[in-house]
Amino acid sequence: MAKSLLKEQHTESLNIKADFPLLVRQPSLVYLDTASTSQKPQCVIDALVSFYETSNANAHRGVYKLSNKASNCLEDARSCIASYLGAQSEQEIIFTKGTTESLNIIAKSFLKNRLNSGDRILLGGAEHHANIVPWQVVARETNSVIDYIPILEDGSLDISSIEKLISPKTKIISIAHTSNILGTTNAIKEITNIAHKYSIPVAVDGAQSVSHQEIDIKELDCDFFTFSGHKAYGPMGIGVLYARSEYLEEMSPFLTGGGMIEEVNLDHSTYVSGPQKFEAGTLSIADAHGLATAIQYIQNIGLDKVANHERSLTEYAEQKLNKIEGLNLIGPLSNRPAPIFSFTLDGIHPHDIATILDDQNIAVRAGHHCSQHTMKRFNINATIRASFGIYTTYSDIDALVDGIIYAKKLFNK
């Protein structure tokens, strides 16, 4: 697709930087680290302020009007997110601090109770550390074993190996929907079809997919789905765990205390059912409200428009980056499913590149991106990562390319 046509389509689809106060206040900033955390639109910031100005009370704790208002605010957010994910019921939606906590809950409150010595856990080969370390902890505590699905040279999973890796001892498959490094999106439906033939539950880390494409839990047929609000244009410190209802009921509490009990006696306690069993203490109601506002913001734009916008940007970036001599893209060289680019430059350390780009007010990530094993798979120590969001423009990509070329000149490369 020609550059001029790509830019024309972009102008017609999304031009919304004005919705993001930080980008308005810093117009020279080229923010290309959305995979780490997204910027927040004004409506989300307003939602947080509005809650504290008009609705600040504890949810499900009082019978007075203000407490009821806070309770309604929390449960409306739960319903909004359930609808967005296509869950059967809002009672399958648990509020957490983020994807990391959600995955820990699955590992420790669900899987650990099912594991015996010699059982096996199957993970993707390019997972974020948050989808490895919790499983390592429960595997060590139960004398279980972790297997990994190999990653092919283009960054995709070797789907053909999954059935070979499955055994009667395999108790769960946990996998990222979209890689935070490789710009690849895994075939979750194909994986769940394989897993469910053997009655194996599947957990999905949706942190990098939930704000970039339509999510339909019923279509994916996964048993758990997790994501973080701050990567989906919402507040930091709030996340979601979707758990299929039959599994939710068998899970033990992750934290205990106020709000999740049914009855407390001196020698034992009983717990409420549903998501509240995993929401001990006071939730960040304002952040839940802010997350629901972010979801509604994305929906108002239209996920089809979001996907088309990011697809065009990704195609444009592929064309530009592939022309830079000495630049090595990790993962697919073309038709990249997600707007995430990790790369190295011959003879220049990623941290040096990121520092030079920062001097030009271009924000990218450099390092192992919480996925050291993925670095080892491709025989590198670190990459530069540029990741896009709904506010990214062609000018941002042009600035990135110009910055890389400038860095190459500085290093005589």
In a shared domain, residues 285 and 309: no
278-317: per-residue pLDDT in tens? Answer: 999 999 999 999 999 999 999 999 999 999 999 999 999 9
Tokens describing residue 137: 């902890």
Active site residue 370: yes
End-to-end, the C-alpha distance of the chain in Å comes to: 29
Looking at the fold, whether 208 and 180 belong to one and the same domain comes out as yes
Residues 204 and 326 in one domain: no
* Whole-Å CA distances, 109 to 11, 113, 138: 47, 7, 10
Q: How confident is the model at residue 5 (pLDDT cuts 50, 70, 90)?
A: very low
40 assigned to some structural domain: no
Residue 39 lies in a domain: no
Say whether both 153 and 96 belong to one domain: yes
Catalytic-role residue among 43, 73, 222, 370: 370
Give 391's Cβ-side CA count (13 Å radius).
Answer: 26
Domain span at 13: 3-31+302-410
The arithmetic mean of pLDDT across residues 109-115, rounded, is 96
Q: Are residue 330 and residue 257 in the same domain, yes or no?
A: no
In a domain, 38, yes or no: no
User: Which residues face 225 on adjacent strands?
Assistant: 204, 242
Residues 18 and 64 in one domain: no
Q: Which helix (DSSP H) or strand (DSSP E) does residue 313 occupy?
A: helix 303-321
Res 7 pLDDT > 80: no
Q: Is residue 36 part of a domain?
A: no
pTM of the model: 0.94
**Tokens at residue 144, please?**
């279980």
CA–CA distances in Å: residue 9 to residues 114, 207, 338, 372, 394: 51, 27, 18, 37, 11
In a domain, 169, yes or no: yes
Tell which residue, 205, 270, 246, has the closest CA to residue 110.
246
Domain boundary residue, one of 250, 269, 300 = 300
Closest residue by Cα to residue 309 from 34, 23, 99, 26: 34
CATH label of the domain that carries residue 371 = 3.90.1150.10
The β-bridge partners of 174 are: 123, 203
Cβ contact 260:280 at 8 Å = yes
Same domain, yes or no, for 120 and 140?
Answer: yes
* Residue 13: per-residue pLDDT: 53
Q: What is the edge-to-edge ordering of all strands in the sheet holding 365-367?
A: 327-330, 340-345, 383-387, 365-367
**Is 151 a member of any domain?**
yes
- Are 369 and 232 found together in one domain? no
Of 300, 330, 353, which one is at a domain's C-terminal end? Answer: 300
Does residue 215 share a domain with residue 70?
A: yes
Q: CA 253 to CA 271: how far, in whole Å?
A: 8
140-188 tens-digit pLDDT? 999 999 999 999 999 999 999 999 999 999 999 999 999 999 999 999 9
- Give the C-alpha separation, 320 to 398, whole Å: 8
Number of structural domains the chain divides into: 2
Same domain, yes or no, for 172 and 81? yes
Q: Which residues contact 300 (CB under 8 A, 6 or more apart)?
A: none
- Check whether 32 has a pLDDT greater than 70: yes
Q: Are residues 123 and 213 in the same domain?
A: yes
Among candidate residues 363, 372, 367, 366, the one with its CA nearest the CA of residue 391: 363
Q: Return the number of other C-beta atoms located less than 10 Å from residue 340's C-beta.
A: 27
Asked whether residue 292 is assigned to any structural domain, the reply reads yes
Q: Which of 282, 300, 318 is the last residue of a domain?
A: 300
Report the alpha-carbon distance of residue 24 to residue 18 in Å, rounded: 6
- Quote the pLDDT of residue 360: 97
Q: Does residue 2 surpass a pLDDT of 50?
A: no
Task: Residue 383: count other Cβ atoms within 10 Å of its Cβ.
Answer: 29
What is the structure's pLDDT at 52?
Answer: 97
- Dist. CA 55–CA 268, nearest whole Å: 35
The CATH number of residue 207's host domain is: 3.40.640.10
Calculate the alpha carbon distances from 253 to 109, 273, 284 in Å.
6, 10, 19
d(C-alpha 160, C-alpha 27), whole Å: 47
Give the whole-number percent of the chain exceeding pLDDT 90. Answer: 91
Tokens of 121: 């856990």
pLDDT in tens, 332-355: 989 999 999 999 999 999 999 999
Quick one: 192 and 95 in the same domain?
A: yes
Q: Do the domain assignments include residue 206? A: yes
